[in-house]
Structure 1
């Protein structure tokens, strides 16, 4: 590990406030940072094996804390300590060896730190580690396809359409009246529009990252599950021709903060100006950016989100069905807390016998095509089905 990378690791002075009430972690991370300082000054102290063991104990201890109870109530301090301990675990593993297998192991630890920990204060270290660990990891399999561009088709749209509206027009016609609107040709300037259809580019930039993948086309079905997988494996399974055997399970990288995990991909998009509008007088809250990547046939069942939602289509197309918040009582939401914002119905094939109140619902249909965005105000119900391989980016804000 080179000197400039070592300089990005936190010093103990940087951690003191965080560790004030964490006696065990404070003791262990003090020893780890002292050992790092010794290496940087060519004064290699002993105890390396003992410190490595203790760092692993901090990782394991805080992993258990993160997985106790609901993730939303885990203290940020716990997640920060977990991430820092993961960084030092990687440091000690690389002191031991820097061969490809060890670097692959360290990449997995780094991804865990990003997925479970809180790495916001150490973004420069995170990016440098990612670059160091990915360097020299050769991709020897056959190249991935470049997906064909989906030609724009003429189709019915049950909601208003605006062609790349300015901020003022969007505010008066969409945001203020809470009017769902299809915004045409809105993101054609994004570099992602040209880059991302080449799956080899995604493989090069993101292939070594571990991400949560949904297994099954619909998260409300009994067969649905999740797994952590490498993006490279996901891309090959879902986008490479498999001789039409029909046995492939649909997998979906859905609602994931991919751009926080992989800054190089975030450079290919821009947060639309529309997201600066807020109903609050104070400064608007931060924008949540989510990635949605998958083959044809992925489905998000009828559900609503509590925030303003701008769904932007980079490649592929999606069939979307909307319903207004006023129709909530007629849409049969699940009774469970986990699925309380999700309807029991199949919006694409209405079953009026089982769900007779659907006769009272007005549904709005549209096709979301590359370069377009769909604005959905808070609590508007929406069903989404990918008609082709698809990459969408959503922006949620209050």
Structure 2
């Protein structure tokens, strides 16, 4: 096994290894690197042979290394399990599109297995599907006070810094802005704006009929989210800490989905967000994950932990809910949290 690269400089002839070199030595022993390669790398940096031999002897016999090896073995086993899951998922790379199953079937086949699915017969039954449009929302709720996100285009991380972009306005003013904007990520109504819970927009819930047996509908206003914006709005790559059913009412959205155990994303996690951008040229994510366009009238089940990046292809209106009847609090799932 190859050595992890060493960038430290050594003081030639010193009798003991500096702490950074000791840490490097132990890390490479844990990785299973050849001791001859370790000796050679240290010797190239002027460390005396006797110092290297003593450091290796102390590291080999330390209780700390033994404990670290036990932890590393457990991590390797978990990595093998995750690799098996990824290999099995690769056999069926497409997301199923189907009518909504019974609550028990949905729980058994999708919720409990963490499997995304697109339900194609829920939204078309809603009054919202035939009614909602920017003009309709302006006509019915134009005077309602809302919170919008604006000035996003000049920020390379607007979702993480969403509080800096919050402004109050009316829905009528916002609709006019959207229709005049063209394709842009500069303005958006997002989940963090909490607009579906605003009294002035309570009438929107009357246009939504959630699948029977899936949701605790008494909590829909407080557990729902509204997205509304022009073509070009982007939600950066992240995962949620609850299961979500995302309903596309107007326009199309492109989703890029990645499983919770995708190694590249675990390595690049920062909180619930990722430092990676699947739209960047030469992105390392190009060869993994699922790429789909969610059409008007479709609903996407996003299992907890699944990474997703979303781009609106048209003027788009979407809603989502997480007030399922099953326990749905997974705040502890934050592999990108500081250690």
TM-score of the superposed pair, with normalisation by structure 1: 0.50
Tell me the residue number matched to 1:291. Answer: 226
- Residue of 210, 228, 231 corresponding to 1:271: 210
Is residue 118 of structure 2 the alignment partner of residue 179 of structure 1?
A: no
Q: Cα distance, 1:273 vs. partner?
A: 3.0
2:187 to 228, 251, 256: 251
Cα distance, 1:158–1:210 mapped onto 2, change above 3 Å: same
Instruction: Determine the C-alpha separation between the residues in 2 that align with 1:375 and 1:227.
Output: 30
Aligned residues: 223
2:318 aligned with 1:381: no
Please identify, of 382-391 and 266-275, the stretch whose mean Cα deviation from structure 2 is larger: 266-275
Deviation at 1:172, TM superposition (A): 2.5
1:310 alignment partner, SS class:
strand
Query: Is 2:257 aligned against 1:322?
Result: yes
Match of 1:219?
158
- TM-score after normalising by structure 2: 0.59
Say whether the 8 Å CA contact 2:250–2:317 is kept in structure 1.
yes
Trace 1:326-365 onto structure 2 (pairs within 5 A): 326-327=261-262, 330-333=265-268, 335=270, 340-349=271-280, 351-352=282-283, 358=285, 362-365=288-291
Q: 1:161 and 2:100 equivalent?
A: no
Q: Note the C-alpha offset of 1:190.
A: 0.7
> Is 1:229 matched with 2:166?
no
Q: Is the 8 A contact 1:186 1:371 kept in 2?
A: yes
In 2 relative to 1, CA 177–221 (structure 1 residues): closer, same or farther, beyond 3 Å?
Answer: closer
Does the aligned pair in 2 maintain the 1:205–1:265 contact within 8 Å? no
Aligned to 1:209: 144
Find out whether 1:370 has 2:290 as its counterpart: no
Which secondary structure does the structure 2 equivalent of 1:192 belong to? helix
Q: Which residue of 2 aligns with 1:260?
A: 197
- Distance in 1 separating the partners of 2:207 and 2:311: 24
Query: Structure 1's 332 and 390: CA in aligned 2 closer, same or farther, altered over 3 A?
Result: farther
Residue 305 in 1 paired to residue 240 in 2? yes
**Structure 1 unmatched ranges of 5 or more:** 1-156, 278-283
What is the rounded CA distance, in whole Å, between the counterparts of 1:350 and 1:159 in structure 2? 25
Q: CA deviation at 1:236?
A: 0.4
Encode CA deviations 1:283-335: one digit per residue, 9 max, x unaligned.
x9945100000000000011011011100000100000111111265355454
Q: Secondary structure at the match of 1:235?
A: helix
Counterparts of 2:168 and 2:266 in 1: how far apart (Å)?
A: 33
Residues 330 and 290 of structure 1: is their aligned pair in 2 closer, same or farther, counting only changes over 3 Å?
closer
Q: Deviations over 1:165-189 (max 9, x none)?
A: 3323322221121111111232111
Partner secondary structure for residue 275 of structure 1? coil
SS of aligned partner of 2:140:
helix
CA contact (8 A) 1:304 1:341 kept: yes
Distance change in 2, residues 1:225/1:332 (3 Å): farther
Give 1:272 deviation, angstroms. 2.6
Please report how far the alpha carbon of residue 368 of structure 1 lies from its aligned counterpart in structure 2 after TM superposition: 0.6
The CA distance in 1 between the partners of 2:291 and 2:213, in whole Å, is: 23
- CA pair 169-259 structure 1, distance change in 2 beyond 3 A: same
Q: Whose radius of gyration is greater, 1 or 2?
A: 2
- 1:221 offset after TM fit, Å? 7.7
Structure 2 distance, partners of 1:351, 1:341, is 23
